């Protein structure tokens, strides 16, 4: 299970929903090992599900990063300054500009 294989199955919204489902179940699962059966909603994650959770986290980060740069492009198209964009991202104008420039260069490559 990899982010690349999951990308074909999920949009950002479906990836987040599945991630949240697994993360919540993982958080609610008992820490110790019991012989008693678990209710389905509190059963510990299987190895495959734990790996899926990791891969989904990476997929979400990739998709969100791509969406972030598209939003920067939209903000620039509406006349937003790099200072305003940096403020919206919680960073400096220089950092916002550099990240966006790197993204453009990566897309060109």
Query: pLDDT for 42-93, tens place per residue?
Result: 688 999 999 999 999 999 999 998 899 999 999 999 999 999 999 999 999 9
Q: Where are the domains of the chain?
A: 3-65, 79-109
Q: What is the pLDDT of residue 109?
A: 87
Rounded to the nearest 5°, which phi and psi values hold at 4? Answer: -65, -40
Range 3-36 burial, b when 16+ CB lie within 10 A, else e: beebeeebeeeebbebbeebeebeeeeeeeeeee
List of residues 6+ apart from 1 with CB closer than 8 A: 48, 51, 52, 55
3-state secondary structure of 61: helix
Q: Which pLDDT does position 38 carry in this prediction?
A: 64
**Model pTM score:** 0.73
């Amino acid at each position: 299970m990899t982010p690349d294989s999951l990308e074909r199955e999920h949009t950002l919204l479906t990836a987040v929903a599945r991630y949240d489902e697994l993360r919540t179940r993982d958080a609610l699962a008992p820490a110790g090992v019991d012989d008693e059966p678990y209710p389905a909603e509190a059963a510990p994650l299987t190895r495959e599900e734990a790996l899926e959770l990791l891969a989904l986290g990476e997929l979400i980060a990739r998709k969100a990063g791509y969406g972030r740069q598209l939003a920067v492009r939209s903000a620039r198209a509406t006349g937003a300054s790099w200072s305003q964009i940096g403020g919206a991202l919680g960073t400096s104008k220089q950092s916002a500009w550099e990240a966006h420039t790197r993204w453009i260069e990566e897309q060109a490559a």
